[in-house]
Structure 1
């Protein structure tokens, strides 16, 4: 565990600068080129087949997680078991929303990808607050945080609908999550053994964004898969790591 004070101070300063920065930059509309994926092959009735079907692993992991939570087979903060359930339920909805989006890419369908994704992100962030910082604070913040995530997506969508697209709030929320999650993991002690699942998800997310950026380059390798489809698989592997951690770890203090 690293020293808290300087890291928290730096993270707080970065958060402040990021907030000021997105305000100074001005509105950022969704780039319509984002919807132009390199692999647009059909397979049977499926358009953009591999970008659609690569969401299946999300659904599998989510269902396994929900069943395990329901059967009390995962080691979690018992008073916040519902929050883990919300996370896995949101992941299941991501699988459906992402499939819908990739079936017919556009801002209207992207909404249904980003909404459950924002809930999943904030639910997981709240879980980390509970396990590393304070159960009490997690209980107080979980609903407002998920509301913030949903609000950031709805603000973007409404702004696009009015012809003045603005991704700033959504981007700021994503940045702050990527900043504060490793800060909490590194500066505070967990109430459980093992933390590799959370680091695994973080690494998987970073790698997935790299795959997304190199969508065409990865497809050009001739391996039959694009960077975007690989992105989905990489994130799903991170979720498997998280689920395995929940199954294997032990309670230290709650």
Structure 2
């Protein structure tokens, strides 16, 4: 698939998802969002497994920051990767805080950092495979500003009427998943392969599915809830990319077939 075709499909699917969320109406927090299947508490730690399972993402995020910082990648590629892993660390800490003391604010904060992490991830993808401008400091500042606006939308709505709307944050959390059906993983890249992204996004999808099936999974396993496994798979998703940053040279060797990375396009105006 050509770069132009992939970008048009990605834009169309993004607009369709935005329209769908707009038609859906506000997505509000409910008391059920703070109820988890595994309520077991050990050594004074509430919901112990759910709480402690936040830590792997923290460790992976620190690993990713160090790996991206030491990499030989050019600055415009390295910067959004560092931003992504920083947001992973903050997301892990806010999720940990939420499990230690359940509150709407901590829940929304975790989603705000998740949205910011995926905005950074999208910029990292586009900086490598489309145009280096996506990894520039103004682009990163704009991305973080968008994430801040999403968080402010929820907090202002919650403060004003008790009806904070999660839709903007959920939109950006779901946005990277469109890379797969849009065929964007076949775009040429120098530092990562399509397989890296496919593995990471597949683990992310599995994490969200298990999170929604929290009680069902807990009933099946009798020991691990879907929410706990969601935390672990989110760490695994980020670990796929942290590993690539830790071992990749300036460019990856040729990969087979459709997912083969070569040189990046120099401009958004270039298409094949």
Measured after TM superposition, the shift of residue 82 of structure 1 is 3.4
Output one character per residue of 1:12-51: Cα deviation in whole Å (capped at 9) or x when no partner.
3332233333333332322331211100111112001111
Report if the CA contact (8 A) 2:186-2:194 is conserved: no
> Cα–Cα, structure 1 residues 239 and 23, in superposed 2: closer, same or farther, change >3 Å?
closer
**RMSD of the alignment, in Å?**
2.3
Report if the CA contact (8 A) 2:129-2:187 is conserved: yes
Measured after TM superposition, the shift of residue 225 of structure 1 is 0.9
Structure-to-structure mapping, 1:149-160, within 5 angstroms: 149-160=147-158
* 2:172 equivalent in structure 1: 173
**Worse overlay, 45-54 or 114-123:** 114-123
Q: In 2, Cα distance between the equivalents of 1:184 and 1:138? A: 21
Measured after TM superposition, the shift of residue 193 of structure 1 is 5.1
> Cα–Cα, structure 1 residues 10 and 151, in superposed 2: closer, same or farther, change >3 Å?
same
> Cα–Cα, structure 1 residues 247 and 113, in superposed 2: closer, same or farther, change >3 Å?
same
- For normalisation by structure 1, the TM-score amounts to 0.87
* 1:237 equivalent in structure 2: 236
> Cα–Cα, structure 1 residues 191 and 148, in superposed 2: closer, same or farther, change >3 Å?
same
Measured after TM superposition, the shift of residue 6 of structure 1 is 4.2
Report if the CA contact (8 A) 1:132-1:185 is conserved: no
Would you say how many aligned residue pairs link Structure 1 and Structure 2? 251
Report if the CA contact (8 A) 1:128-1:181 is conserved: no
* 2:259 equivalent in structure 1: none
Report if the CA contact (8 A) 1:194-1:249 is conserved: no
Unpaired stretches in structure 2, ≥5 consecutive residues: 252-262, 265-272
* 2:62 equivalent in structure 1: 63
Q: 3-state SS of the aligned residue for 1:144?
A: helix
Structure-to-structure mapping, 1:190-209, within 5 angstroms: 190-192=189-191, 194-209=193-208
Report if the CA contact (8 A) 1:197-1:244 is conserved: no
Instruction: Tell me, yes or no, if structure 1 residue 109 matches structure 2 residue 106.
Output: yes
Structure-to-structure mapping, 1:65-80, within 5 angstroms: 65-70=64-69, 72=70, 74-80=71-77
Unpaired stretches in structure 1, ≥5 consecutive residues: none
Measured after TM superposition, the shift of residue 189 of structure 1 is 0.3
